Amino acid sequence: MKDPFFFGYGSLVNRATHDFPHTARATVRGWARMWKKTSLRKVAFLTAFEAHGEEIDGLIAAVPRADWAALDEREWAYHRLPVDEIRHEHPPLSDIQIYRTRAEHDADPSSEHPILLSYVDVVVQGYLREFGQAGADRFFATTHGWNVAVLDDRAAPIYPRHQSLTVEEMAFVDRRLADRAQIFSDDALVEDIRTNRPAAEPASERRV
């Protein structure tokens, strides 16, 4: 049996955050991505959602022996769905899956669920390395929901797989966010999010 693959469109694009093999750049059609507020935690998730006619870039990688346990734990707030229309650099693959947050966890759109800057840093670094500045610009342009405020936790990152960015990478992130999102600092909120983790969140995701 051939190994299944996943399509990553957020932090999984950054190869420094995982060691899944046979990675390749890819573009999926019929899906878009957005910042989603849920009842699961106090910060927004980046999720894919079905969107006719839209397409997003990302990274595919193999899941050896179809052992999804570690990746499903990492993506604990999501469920997996099959991808139908996709372009990639591998020979034909029969099983590619994408993660999407569950509709039953959607929160009131007016609720306060900021985006973590430490997470945006990781995602954009991945797109810069895989697709260059043009591809990173496509990430910003094809992601919905930038009306959600961005919490600056760069000095004390909350995201467990945060990475060190170059000065140039940080400047790129900051310039692109300045065009589309409100960035704010709140040390008390950062500490509150860090210490009051969701009960459903696996221990592996609480590393800071």
pLDDT of residue 53: 94
Distance CA 172, CA 86 (A): 28
Residues of the chain with pLDDT below 50 are 208
> Does the residue 25 lie in any domain?
yes
pLDDT of residue 200: 78
pLDDT of residue 86: 96
> Does the residue 121 lie in any domain?
yes
> Does the residue 105 lie in any domain?
yes
**The two three-digit tokens of residue 204, written as one number:** 């592996």
H or E element: which one contains 122? Answer: helix 117-141
User: What does the pLDDT look like over 7-40, one tens digit per residue?
Assistant: 999 999 999 999 999 999 999 999 999 999 998 8
> Does the residue 205 lie in any domain?
no
Q: Which domain holds residue 150?
A: 5-199
> Does the residue 29 lie in any domain?
yes
pLDDT of residue 206: 65
Distance CA 119, CA 160 (A): 9
3-state secondary structure 15-58: HHHCCCCCCEEEEEEEEEEEEECECCCCCCEEEEEEEEEEEEEE
Average pLDDT, the chain: 93
> Does the residue 208 lie in any domain?
no
Helix-helix angle 117-141:167-178, to 10 degrees = 60
pLDDT of residue 107: 80
Could you tell me the CATH number of the domain that includes residue 96? Answer: 3.10.490.10
Beta bridge mates, 96: 5
This prediction's pTM: 0.94
> Does the residue 100 lie in any domain?
yes
Please tell me the total count of domains within the chain. 1
CA torsion 63→136→187→44, rounded to 10°?
-60
Q: How buried is 51 (Cβ within 10 angstroms: 0-12 exposed, 13-18 middle, 19+ buried)? A: middle
> Does the residue 206 lie in any domain?
no
